[in-house]
Every structure is written in C-alpha cells, then in structure tokens.
Structure 1
Amino acid sequence: MEILAFGVQADEKPLIQQAFRGHHEVRCLDVFLNEDTAPIAAGYEVISTSVNAELGAGVLEVLAAGGTRMIAQRSTGFNNIDLKAAERLGMTIARVSYYSPYSVAEFAWTLAMAVNRHIVRASTRTRDFDFRLDGLMGRDLRGRTAGVLGTGKIGEAFTRIAHGFGMRLLGWDVVENPVCRELGMTYVPKEQLLAESDLVTLHVPLMPETQHLIDADALKAMKDDAILVNSSRGGLIDTTALVDELRAGRFAGVGLDVYEAEAGLFFLDKSLEAIEDDTLARLVTFPNVVVTSHQAYYTVDAVGQIVDATVRNVLDYRAGRRSENVLVPRS
C-alpha cells in the first residue's frame, strides 16, 4: 500500500521515508491539505497530515469520496479536525498523543530569553557592526515569578527549567501536577497568576473552553513589564487585543511560535507576496516581539518520535488494532 503524506518539510522527508521502509510505500508532498489539494488524495486509502491541515467536514467529504479511510495526523493537537464528520463518514482518525515535551519547553525558554535579552535586535546590530548596548538591557530571572498555564508534560518540562533558574513558580490547570508541586509550584487562580507573574507561558490545548484564554481582560491583568510566551496554539491568545496592548507600550517582551490565523502562512515562503493579514503585519513590527513559524516541536528527537508514532498508527489501522492515539476508531 502507498500512503500519501501532506505538508512534509524537507528535513522531515527522509525521516518519514526511513520509518515507513519495510512497511509501506510513502509519497511525500510539501503542499498542505485543504479544500484545493484534497482531490490529490483520490485513490489513497491512508493519508498523513500535518498540524496545519484543514480537515473540516467539506475536506473530509472529498477525501472519503476519493477512497480515503484513514488519516494519521502528525501532531498532538487535533482542533483542526471535524471528528463528528469523520465518524459520520466512517473514517479512522489517529494522532500522536505524545512526543518529546522538552522540544517545546526548551523552545519556549528560547523565546523568553530572546525577548528578555533582546537577542534579535543585538544580532541585527552586530551584523551592521553597530556594537552599542543602548536598548538591550534585560533582567535577571532568578527570584522573579514564572506563571505556567497548563502543567502537563510540556508545562512540567518548562517548570523544571524555571526551577533551575531559581524562579518562584505559579501554576494553573484543571488537574495539579505532583511533580510541579514538588518543585515548589503553587497553584492559584488564573487571575492571580497573571497579576503576579513576570513571565507567563501557555501550555494548554486549544478547545472551545480555552479559545482566547488570554483575552483583553487577561492581558490587562498582567504586569506592564511582563513577558508573554505562547508555544502551544495561536487561538489561545486574542491577537487583536494583544496588538492593542503592545501599541500602548505594555510588556517587556512577547514570544510567539504560533498565531491564531497561521494556516496558509506558516511553513510557507511568503517573502515575495503582500501579506494581507493586517494583525500579523502589525504584530511583527514591534521591537519587543519575536514571532517564529510554529517550530517549537521541530527537533530531530521530537520529529523522529512523531514519525515513528505515525507509522505505528498506520500499522495498527491495517491490523485492526486500537491504541491511545485513535480519536475516531475504525468502523
């Protein structure tokens, strides 16, 4: 059987081909799955998709009509998939429930340190042989407060690093993590965490209950000189409200690896095109903001684990097995 993989990055392609070798043939495409590209999957029983695939009811219906019966998504998040439509169409949906949490946690810290110590501005200056220190003053993080919204595996990994920095630890989650407790974390209401934290980081999944978790009111509750980092899902932050606060001169730094309207932009080269997204265009102009293209997970360790899990998901589907990765079982 040949599998069709959408949205495959150049670095990811050899890992996917190697992982499937000896099991199934795989055809890798760099285009992302959406309503325009869905017809390409005609004749493929199994396809694999990336995190930015558009898997609403319309796309799923096109895939089902073309013979697709199983979708193996190469990500943990699945907010882009209409699971009810998939079930109605008799399609099996699987994801990757776990991969290296350190990849995302370490990158969140990379963003935090980049904005705190103005690394991007400093690097740009030195390339022009401007070695002044004006405007590059940061802050020690030791003794300051880190607020972690979401203390699952990634939040725990972030907390371990914060503990190493010697920070006071505040947490917020529906379920408390005993490891974070042992590290000295105090669980508090979200409003208290936002008001007291010098560094706020988001590590919760995107679902209706967490859409715009950081809205205008939440942003106003934060310290004027706080650092905000999001390496989870773009929809957790109301970006329009964030731009308004940045225009008012608030926040020491904002590090974003995700953006709520990133589909159709992130992972693509748009350098020769006019960006029609006014909010994103405004966002990247602020000197205290660093935006990256959803790369927090992108380490050889994490991607390798994602690919291996994807292969297992396909093999389980073919064998009629069900694992914790299955979101919609085989009918």
Structure 2
Amino acid sequence: MPEKMDLKALARHIGVSQTTVSRVLSGSAARYRISEETQQRVLAAAKKLNYRANALAISLRSQRSSTVGVMVPEISEGYSSGVLSGIEDALLVAGYFYFVVSHRHRAELLREYPSMLLSRAVEGIITVNTDVREALPIPVVAVSGHRHQPSVVNIELDHMLAARYALEHLEKLGHRRIAFIKGQTFSSDTRPRWRAICKVAEELGLEIDPHLVVQLQDDGLGIEPGRAAAATLLERKRPFTAIFAFNDLTAMGAITLLRDTGLDVPGQVSVVGFDDILSAATNNPPLTTVRQPLQEMGRVAAKTLLQMIQSSREEWPKHSIPILPGFAERRSTALAASPGKKKPQVRK
C-alpha cells in the first residue's frame, strides 16, 4: 500500500523539516526567510505527489476560515481562466478554500461582492482585472489592478516590455501601417497598455494613425468583439498591413473577419495577439502573441495573499510585484505586403 502523503511524509520525501514545509505551504516562507530554492522544491513535490493540506484541521487549530475570495470579470477561456488556474494550484496545496465570483463589470456587483465575501469570513481577496475602489479591512492582491492603495498589492505585467516585443517584431518585418484594437474602457489593463504602445511606437518612429485605432465596445465573450473591431477598421478604408490586438480572442476574431473578406493572414495582413492562451498555438494560423504568464501571475497572487494573511501589515510587500512578459512568434505574422491593393467587402 502506498505511503499516505501527509505533512510528515512529504517533509521526509523532500528532506526538510515539517515546520519548513508547513511555512512554505501556508504562504509564510518569506517571513521566516526560507530560500526560494527550498520553496520551489516543496511546492514542486507537493504538486507531484498530490499533497493536500488538511484544511479542516488547519481551520480548527488556528480558528481561521482558511478561505479567500476571488473576483473575476468572467469565467471563460482566456485571461481569467489562465490566472484562476494558477491561483487554484497555490491555494489547494496550502489547504485553502476559495469562493469565485464573476461580475461582468456590472457596477452593482462590484459594490456588493466585497461585502458579500467579507460576510463569508474570507481572510483575503484576489481580484483579477477588477477595479475595487473601496478600502477593505483584509489584505487584497490585485492581478492587473493598477490602483495603489493601502492593503492592496498589485501583480503587474511590464507593459513597456510587452509593447516593445510586439512592435519591434512588426517593425523588423517592415510593417509601418499598423492598426490597433484597444481594450474596453472598463478593463484595468487598457490604459497602461496603450500608454506603453504609444511610447514604444514613438521610440521606433512608428506613426499611429488615429483612424487605425478602434476600441472594443462591449464585454461579449469569444471572438465576436474582435470580428466587430476588425470590420470597423476595414470600413474606414485606411490601408494597413498589421493588427496588434488587445488580447488573443480579439486577434482570433479579427483573423476570421479578415479571411471572410478575402484577405490572407499573414500574406496581406499580419496579426499579433496578447496573453498566449492555450488555443493561441492551435489557432489557424497559429497566433503570434505577447506571452503573459497567466498561471504564474495567479500563483504569485495566491502566494502573496497567503503571506499577507500570515504576517503583520508592516511585513506586507509594497504596492506592486512586477511580472515579465515573453513573446511567441508563430505563423500569423510575416513580411509586410503592399497595403491598399484590395478593398474587401464585409460579408453580411
């Protein structure tokens, strides 16, 4: 019969003390100055051996709920699901329960959910692409929150580096007439990402034509918002050879619309996405995209929240934790073609 994987057995397997394992899994490793190498060994072994902390015992012993709340715009393929996967990994290993609520950016839900979660005795809250304006009496970690306020730590992507990856890639392929699909006004990433794009474009000498900039207009799911944005670009009859989209689903929607009008991707128009969701690599064509390490951002958010729960306010991280993007070059981008040779008609 296989050995029961309890805390003692896990510690013996790794070769460290039970106390060290307990501190790592509870999110208090930084407080006790446990090395990053040891933390990674503990977390990797816990995941590989399917170890789960005894949440009931922890709650009874500490008189805590061992529960956190997670607020997301929606639960669907894309950004939120990738971040949630990382949050889940870290919380389950640490023996924490979690409530997930989706608000679809509805003002009344954004107001009500924090109080609702507090009434369920959560010890902290993780927000994902969600702007919570009121101060809360418990620690909060915001993934792409961009709002600096007491008791909130932000997990923030380096948008300058992300914009540089995408625009330098297109510029090296000869693209000068680039169209942009911005995020919705309610997305917390829209403004910092657009500021970064404008700054990098200026540094590279790329002119941004206002007629080649459109904004996603609603919170529709799937590829439809991207299709609508691409149709608007074509209707303006301004030539372009590339599109840089706010996220991968938008990019995929743009590709389907371009193909429906008879344009070849990437032969006539190159398309770059953002996020590198699971389906980006299997899209037709496989999508060139800025890689946002979504699962890692979720894991960092959860580990940071657990650390805050286990420590005093003076020991909390300050304001923000930076996350570096990557870049996946695939087959949706190619050398720039001569723009304006064809005026496609959008199929009804």
* TM-score computed with the length of structure 2 as normaliser: 0.40
Decide which structure has greater helix share: 2
* TM-score computed with the length of structure 1 as normaliser: 0.41
